[in-house]
A and B are shown apart, each in its own frame.
Chain A
Amino acid sequence: MKQVFIIASKEFKAAFKDRVFLVITALFLLLSIISVYIGSSTKNAEIKAYLDIVALLKAQGATSFPVSPQLFPLAILQNIIDYVSIIGAVLAVFLGFDAFSGERENGTLKLLLVRPLYRDQLVTGKLLGGGLVIGVLLCVTLVFNTLLFSIVSGLTPTFNELSRLLVFITLAFVYMMIFYIVTLFVSIKTGDRTFGFLTMMVVWVFVSFVIPQLADSQRSFAYALNATAQTVTQMPSDTVISKGIEMFSPAVQFQNVGKDLLQVVSETAAMNVFDILSRQVLSLFYMLVPGAIFLLASYRAVQKEDVT
């Protein structure tokens, strides 16, 4: 176990020494902060505008008022779902793409493997190190944004909201780790780190954009004819094919669950965390499966590796 920690701590330190990684981390933080700040202040403006109108109507002697706009505080953080699923995934790729191929090109892989260290410990160490980096990053994001949100909006999160946030961060962690694991696998399998990196970029484009897009094109559009309003509206609805295509994209699954957790979907905004998780158990399953497969594959591939 000691060996694992030695490797993990080296990975952790190395990540924060890497300027490219730091740039993209900064980008990630900056985005989430901007989005929370703007989200909070527009919500404030919205509430204020509503109160103004009510006051005005009262002054005019009106008795019925427009319904208060539905405000779910966590929805302010909703852009973070996109950032994690897009930038977060790239971050994991940047973190892991040379984890093995880099060691191999450097010749340090040989130096590692002639030491009293099991090969699976090496993989575990790398995973732990990457996990630590991702974990720290997400925690910083969470704490920072929760604080910012409280300061700007003047709201304190309730227990339900806090638990949702925690579960969301855990989920984001798992999602990013899945990308890290797949990247690690590619890194073990490919000799050339540039090739590995680009392969992962292609995977990323597919998971985050192409598959959702394809699924979207397979939604059936019910044409609702409204004779009274004389309109024909398109109503997208999931079909078996669109669902089936989406199964292959952890990004879509992550977004599904994330939206529920961060109160983006009004139907589930009031539920408690466990109800949401049990509602989305299938999405969670689809998300975890590729991670598990590649995790096992990584351990196997390292055992088989011939170092020359």
Chain B
Amino acid sequence: MNLLMDAPVIDYGIMQPILVVLGAAVLGVLIEAFAPRENRRNIQLVVTFGSLLIALYGVVTNTSEKHVGLGAVNSLSIDGPGLFLQGVILVSALVGAMFLAERDIDVQGDAFAPQASALPGSEDESEFTLRGWLQTEIWPLFLFSVGGMLIFPVANDFLTLFVALEVMSLPLYLLAGMARRRRLLSQEAALKYFVLGAFSSAFLLYGSALLYGFAGSVTYGDIVTAIGQDPGRNGLLIVGSLFVFVGLLFKVGAAPFHQWTPDVYQGAPTALTAFMGAATKVAAFGALLRVAYVALGGLRWDLAPVLWVIAGLTMLIGTVVGVAQSDIKRMLAYSSIAHAGFLILGVIAANPAGLSGSLFYLLAYAFTTLGTFGIVSLVHDASGEANNLGQFAGLGKRSPLVAGAFALFLLALAGIPLTSGFTGKFAVFAAAYEGGAAPLVVLAVIASAIAAFFYVRVIVLMFFTEPQGEEVSVIVPSMFTQVGLSIAATATVILGVMPQPVLDLLNNTFFIR
């Protein structure tokens, strides 16, 4: 008996982005422990932005050198789509970090409570506020989440998927509950997010267990092979794959697993919502696409009807209920639900065009989401952020630039040509039509029309309605937010007008297993 074993050969280069971000997160924890309070923020910022940039550099070099393959003993599949998704997540994280780092909007500091453990309204809290302390723990938490997100879409087995899911979600649960203002709502959002998130991940896990029972392995490639061989035990396969879908569809915010979205989007600090809305959706859809295309590719015809129902329901609920919202963040949350519906079309398409279309869509969506929430965070009244739709009235007159940018993002969300949203929509719809889902495309078009109504309503409010009631003001933010918003706006325009380079990148890229 040979107790020696061959050490697995691990390609660290391919995992560089993940390792850098997670390593930086660990470093961040140490900084919290050892660095003096007054320096922490600056050090954390350097670590965060530095690690994100290094990771992004890694993704870019891996992409340009076509350095792809399975990593970490087949548990990661870092292929073309995977690298693209990691890139999108990292860029979203960079822009999101800029919003998180913003201190000029709120006179008291950044968007997070000075000490999350202090009771809201307690003397402790006001003292911390007075001292101008910041909760710098958000940075390692943020980096852990980003690390989870980087793994999530490239996970090549269900265990890695589950672990990545938790790594990316757990910090977000916490961060969602740490808003500086309206702490009660923030904590409630955290609780709901956590309970429902844990509930859904239990489904995902149990589904994985059943699939393991079916195929004898949790690796995607083995499962799809097993499906091809048809070993019987179809009950395990169907229930298992549906439970996995429940977990993933929860994360992407598809109906009927969407109900956490408005509550959490509204309750969480807006800067975090921006990051979460963009990056979580990207990571979750990346994982969903991979599971659907790779692990369950052979099950397409059993899953297609289910996904048709979900897609239709999601699009309609997202758009129709969105019409009735009066809080801008909730409205945008419903918009994100609608977009999840559109994106499921790309999953249903089940063809290379569907994959590349969805990826493009995700890239476009990430920037518009960051942009919209970024701008929402700028509009304030006396008590903090002004989230009521009515308070946006007359914004066009007060600060045309911000209103103009907001209009741009909204039009992109609506899918108006020459914005990124249109290109993405077109790509996904075309793929779905080709994949035989023409009726869903028509439904998607109708849903887009309904959605257009509430996007346009905001534009009308900003440009054509006289402001009434209390004065709201648009805060001029620091360089962080300015740069972040500029990136988002520029990308939105470029992806609408000149999408070809990105499309080239996505052309002929497909999952490996």
A and B: bona fide binding partners: no
